[in-house]
Amino acid sequence: MSEQTLPNPMPQGNVVSRIMYSRYTRLILILVFAASVLLPIVFMATTSIKQPIEIRESGAILPTRGIFTENWGRAFANVPLVRYLFNSTVVAVTSTLLALLIAVPATYSIVRFRTGGMVLPSLILGTYVMPPIVVSIPIFMMTRIAGLTDTLFGLILLHGMANLPVAVWLIDSYIRSLPVELEQAAWVDGYGRFETLLKVVIPLIRPGIVSAGMICMILSWNEFLFALILTYSDVSHTFPIGISRYEGEHGLQFGEMAAAALTGIIPIYLIVLFFQRYLVEGLTQGGVRG
């Protein structure tokens, strides 16, 4: 191959490569990928409008016995779904704020003051690697002693702490990439260390904080194990626990469950879409030599 052909991503004369790089191949691959992601959702949507008997009898994707919309009404009537979604939203938003409130100054301290030396960063990652089930019993005991079982506050605390390592991990690289001279300039110009963190560093690492927050919120929204252990009633059940409550006289009500599950996707998608606006990348580039 001569140098002139280098920019061309489609190598000449090789049939396999030509097929690999062809526009149609790419299109097909994208469709396959999209289908594998969307199929379960489509399946769930069609299940939510099937008659219960049809769900048990046939595995077909599309309803064959006509459209049955009653699942949707029953999903809200038989289980306090709105309450669960409300609980989930409160827990996800509040625990995320809690995690960020601790993670931002903690990460700043780890990066700029080397707090905890080499040990703390690996310890933080270590706590996240550990399977949550391992600590489920002590967590339950501790929560009970604190009198926080079956409360939203208990779950908020737990989710906040459990997601802290993720937040620290994500924010770390943002603070590291910030030239320290930007802070020193602010000290010289009249800010103290804390004001500099608040008014100079945080605005500059906002994309990192927002993305860490989004991840924390999604993790909290989907969290099942701790919610299962720590909540006993509608007061504190979250959405994932709620889904498992669709039991009727004839076993699990898959149609209602599908309707509820689809509903549960919506709030978290709205929240993430809302915060995506603040994900403006590359804010830290260009202000210093480079």
* Residue span binding other proteins (CB under 8 A) among the ranges 14-22, 54-62, 148-156, 198-206: 198-206
To the nearest whole angstrom, how small is the minimum distance from the Cβ of residue 148 to other proteins? 40
- Work out which of 17, 58, 64, 184 binds other proteins, going by CB under 8 A: 184
Residue 284 interacts with other proteins (CB under 8 A): yes or no: yes
Contact between 196 and 187 (Cβ < 8 Å): yes
Chain residues 9-28 in contact with other proteins, contact rule CB under 8 A: none
To the nearest whole angstrom, how small is the minimum distance from the Cβ of residue 205 to other proteins? 10
CA-based torsion, 162, 167, 170, 175: positive or negative = negative
Residue 189 interacts with other proteins (CB under 8 A): yes or no: yes
Alpha helix (H) ranges present in 49-179? 52-57, 70-78, 81-112, 119-129, 136-145, 152-176
Residue 197 interacts with other proteins (CB under 8 A): yes or no: no
Chain residues 93-132 in contact with other proteins, contact rule CB under 8 A: none
Q: Which is nearer to other proteins, 269 or 278 (CB)?
A: 278
- Work out which of 187, 232, 274, 278 binds other proteins, going by CB under 8 A: 187
Contact between 72 and 48 (Cβ < 8 Å): yes
87: exposed, middle or buried (Cβ count in 10 Å: 0-12, 13-18, 19+): buried
* Residue span binding other proteins (CB under 8 A) among the ranges 12-20, 145-153, 180-188, 245-253: 180-188
Residue 211 interacts with other proteins (CB under 8 A): yes or no: no
Residue 190 interacts with other proteins (CB under 8 A): yes or no: yes
- Work out which of 179, 222, 262, 267 binds other proteins, going by CB under 8 A: 179
3-state helix, strand, coil in the chain (%, to 5): 70, 0, 30
Residue 277 interacts with other proteins (CB under 8 A): yes or no: no
Euclidean distance between CA atoms 69 and 36, whole angstroms: 26
Contact between 260 and 75 (Cβ < 8 Å): yes
- Any idea which residue has 């770390």 for tokens? 172
Q: DSSP 3-state assignment of 189?
A: coil
Euclidean distance between CA atoms 42 and 47, whole angstroms: 8
Residue 249 interacts with other proteins (CB under 8 A): yes or no: no
Q: Which is nearer to other proteins, 196 or 253 (CB)?
A: 196
Residue 176 interacts with other proteins (CB under 8 A): yes or no: no
Euclidean distance between CA atoms 147 and 162, whole angstroms: 19
Residue 2 interacts with other proteins (CB under 8 A): yes or no: no
Euclidean distance between CA atoms 101 and 127, whole angstroms: 19
- Work out which of 191, 224, 254, 275 binds other proteins, going by CB under 8 A: 191
Give the residues lining the site for other proteins (CB under 8 A): 179, 181-182, 184-192, 200, 203-204, 283-290
